[in-house]
Amino acid sequence: MIAWLNAFPTNVMSVVGWQVMRTGADDAQTAAKAEADINVMISQYQKVPSHCDVVAHGIQGGVPVGYFLVAAEPGVLFESASGEMMTLDMILASLAVEDTLTFMAVPPGSGHRIGIDQDSDCVGDSVDPLPATSNTGDGNFDGVVGFDDYFILATCFALDGPLPPECRAFDADCGGLLDLDDVDVFLALYEGDLADCNANGIADFRDILAGDEPDADGNGVPDSCMGALIPTVSEWGLGAMILLLITAGTLAFGRGRRVA
């Protein structure tokens, strides 16, 4: 069928638009035919250049679900709209009797958006509180990229491993890891003035996250800028002298009273 479809010259690969449905109630023969078709679809994804992306949409356990094919080699791997990685076998085995799932071939490059992340903010549809509004840089999902989000970013930036949903909002390239490129996207989207207390021409948030400025108390202000708030050595000296004078005065006064 694919060969026949490909005989027609077109800018869009003919496999695009093909749909294969599976339900949990399929008999063995129907299920095997559907799985064979899904594998043909995946073989079209594997063409160089790729002929299609492969996605799946449906209802499982009464809840809308989405999947996006991220790799075919060495094994077929889909990402779900909640961020899990699953093989095709795992997905098909998870279908309960009342569940339905439709696999679709979509234009190359469109599968991530169509399959699992309609607003392309790297937060999968199933875990995106605002699935139709981009939340890039907006870790608390309040619609604003602001000061509070910096602290979430700082926490996420220190993580080593899979990013939870509130961290994925900072993963501007959906790469699965946070790096300084993602920080720069956050800074570009930041609503408000970015402090540069050390006057190096770089936003202090970036100085801290890049590791160029310590921020021991995690208040978003480089420690080097907190000096004005901490008494200097000479100020400590002055304070100690005043304390000594008060103590001496109190002792002298007390002794005087006892003498009288």
Q: Which residues bind Ca ion (CB under 5 A)?
A: 117, 119, 121, 123, 128, 130, 135, 138, 140, 142, 144, 149, 196, 198, 200, 202, 204, 207
Nearest CA among 35, 125, 46 for reference residue 80: 125
Which residue lies nearer to Ca ion by CB, 84 or 119? 119
Strands 63-71 and 100-106: unpaired
d(CA 245, CA 192): 48
- Element holding 187 (H helix, E strand): helix 180-189
Least separation, in Å, of the C-beta of 88 and Ca ion? 23
Which residue bears the tokens 């809840």?
Answer: 63
Which residue lies nearer to Ca ion by CB, 101 or 153? 153
Cα separation of the two ends of the chain: 116
Work out the burial of residue 229: count CB atoms within 10 Å of its CB; fewer than 13 is exposed, 13-18 middle, 19 or more buried: exposed
Least separation, in Å, of the C-beta of 118 and Ca ion? 6
Residue 90's CB is within 10 A of a number of other CB atoms, namely 14
Least separation, in Å, of the C-beta of 43 and Ca ion? 29
Least separation, in Å, of the C-beta of 200 and Ca ion? 5
Which residue lies nearer to Ca ion by CB, 74 or 192? 192
Least separation, in Å, of the C-beta of 16 and Ca ion? 23
Which residue lies nearer to Ca ion by CB, 90 or 130? 130
Which residue bears the tokens 């490909």?
Answer: 6
Which residue lies nearer to Ca ion by CB, 50 or 140? 140
